[in-house]
C-alpha cells in the first residue's frame, strides 16, 4: 500500500503535470489505473514466487513487507508528496467526495431491489435442484429486515449536513441543510464487496480458491491448476491493495511512506473475526466486511474514549488472539 501510494502520488504530482497540466480531467483516471496495474503486478510477482518457486507464502509476504516499505521510502526519500489532484481527492470522501442525499436514496432503493432479486434467484435455484426451501414468511421477514437496515443506514447518513461555509461557497442560501449522503469510499467498498462475492460464489475461480484452501492436494488431483490459481489470487489481492492505496492518499491529500503501517494486524483480525479460518477453505466476503466494521468501530471507539495508542495496540492484539483461539476451538470440535 505504501509503495503504490507513493508512486501514484509522485506520478500525479511530478510527471503528469508536465505532460497534461495541473488538474487535468484524466489525471485521476490515469493515476488510479497505474496504481491498480502496479498493485496487481506486485501481487503476481509474489504469487509466482510462492506457487512456482515453492517459497512459503508467509516468508514471501514478510520479506515483501520489508522490501516494499523500504522502496516506498526511497521513492521520495521519506518526504511527503502533496497535494493530490482535485478530482483524485474525491476518492477519499470528505465534503466534496459524497453523492448527496437524493442519490444516496437512489442507491439504497437499488440495493433493496438487488436484495429482493437475489432472494428470488436463490429460491428458484434451490427449488430447481430439490433443496429444502424456507417458509415464505421467513423469506419476507429476511427481506424486510435487510432492506430496513439499508434504508435505515441511508437515513442516518443523510442526517449529516455539509458545513455552512461549504454550503454558502456553493451559492446556496445561508442556513440551507444539504445532506452529505454516502461517501465515495463507502460506495467503492460496497462495490468491491459485491464484485468479490460474485467472483467467490458464482465463478469457477472462486470455487477453485475454496478448494485449494480446503485441501491443496485434493484440488491438484481434481485437475485444478493450483499454481496458476495461487498467482491469480495474489494478483487480485495486489489490485485491491492498489485501490486501497488510492483511497488512502486521496483521503489524506498526501502520499506518505508510512502509509498503512500496522494495518496488516487489523486486516488479519478483521478476517478472522469475520469467520475466515486459518486452516483454509472457510470464509466469506460479507464476513470479512463485517469483521472490518467491527475492528474499525473498536479502534474509533477507543480514540473517542481517549485510549492511548499503545493500549489500542494491546486491545487489537488481544482481540486477534481471542478470535484465532475461538476459530481453533470450533474447528477442533467440528473435526473431533
Whether the CB-CB separation of 242 and 4 falls below 8 Å is answered with: yes
Supply 178's cell numbers.
Answer: 444539504
User: Among residues 209, 263, 332, which one has the least CA distance to residue 1?
Assistant: 263
Distance CA 278, CA 287 (A): 14
Element holding 75 (H helix, E strand): helix 57-76
**pLDDT tens digit at each of 336 positions of the chain:** 999 999 999 998 888 888 887 778 888 999 999 999 999 999 999 999 999 999 999 999 999 999 999 999 998 888 888 888 888 999 988 778 888 888 999 999 999 999 999 889 888 988 888 888 888 888 899 999 999 999 998 998 888 887 777 777 777 777 777 888 888 999 999 999 999 999 998 899 999 999 998 888 898 888 899 999 999 999 999 999 999 999 999 999 999 988 888 888 788 888 888 888 877 888 889 888 888 888 888 888 888 888 887 888 888 888 878 877 877 787 777 666
Q: What is the DSSP string of 116-177?
A: HHHHHHHHHHHHHTT-----HHHHHHHHHHHHHHHHHHHHHHTT-B--HHHHHHTTPPTT--
The pTM of this model reads 0.88
Q: What are phi and psi of 194, to 5 degrees?
A: -65, -45
Amino acid at each position: 500500500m505504501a509503495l503504490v501510494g507513493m508512486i501514484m502520488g509522485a506520478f500525479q504530482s511530478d510527471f503528469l503535470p508536465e505532460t497534461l497540466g495541473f488538474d487535468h480531467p484524466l489525471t485521476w483516471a490515469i493515476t488510479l489505473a497505474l496504481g491498480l496495474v502496479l498493485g496487481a503486478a506486485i501481487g503476481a510477482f509474489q504469487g509466482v514466487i510462492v506457487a512456482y518457486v515453492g517459497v512459503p507464502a508467509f516468508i514471501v509476504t514478510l520479506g515483501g513487507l520489508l522490501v516494499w516499505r523500504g522502496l516506498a521510502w526511497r521513492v521520495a526519500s521519506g518526504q511527503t508528496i502533496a497535494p493530490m489532484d482535485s478530482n483524485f481527492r474525491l476518492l477519499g470522501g470528505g465534503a466534496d467526495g459524497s453523492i448527496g442525499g437524493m442519490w444516496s436514496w437512489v442507491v439504497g432503493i437499488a440495493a433493496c431491489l438487488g436484495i429482493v432479486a437475489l432472494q428470488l434467484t436463490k429460491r428458484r435455484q434451490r427449488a430447481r435442484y430439490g433443496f429444502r426451501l424456507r417458509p415464505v414468511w421467513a423469506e419476507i421477514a429476511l427481506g424486510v429486515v435487510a432492506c430496513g437496515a439499508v434504508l435505515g443506514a441511508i437515513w442516518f447518513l443523510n442526517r449529516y449536513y455539509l458545513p455552512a461555509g461549504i454550503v454558502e461557497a456553493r451559492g446556496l442560501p445561508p442556513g440551507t441543510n444539504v445532506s452529505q449522503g454516502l461517501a465515495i469510499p463507502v460506495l467503492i467498498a460496497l462495490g468491491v464487496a459485491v464484485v468479490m462475492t460474485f467472483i467467490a460464489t458464482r465463478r469457477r475461480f472462486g470455487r477453485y480458491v475454496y478448494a485449494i484452501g480446503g485441501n491443496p492436494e485434493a484440488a491438484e488431483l481434481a485437475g485444478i491448476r493450483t499454481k496458476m490459481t495461487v498467482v491469480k489470487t495474489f494478483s487480485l489481492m495486489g489490485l485491491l491493495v492498489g485501490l486501497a492505496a488510492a483511497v488512502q492518499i486521496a483521503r489524506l491529500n498526501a502520499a506518505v511512506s508510512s502509509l498503512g503501517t500496522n494495518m496488516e494486524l487489523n486486516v488479519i483480525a478483521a478476517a478472522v473475526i469475520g469467520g475466515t479460518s486459518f486452516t483454509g477453505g472457510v470464509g466469506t466476503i460479507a464476513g470479512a466486511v463485517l469483521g472490518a466494521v467491527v475492528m474499525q468501530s473498536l479502534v474509533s471507539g477507543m480514540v473517542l474514549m481517549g485510549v492511548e495508542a499503545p493500549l489500542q495496540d494491546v486491545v487489537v492484539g488481544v482481540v486477534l488472539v481471542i478470535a484465532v483461539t475461538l476459530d481453533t476451538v470450533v474447528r477442533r470440535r467440528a473435526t473431533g
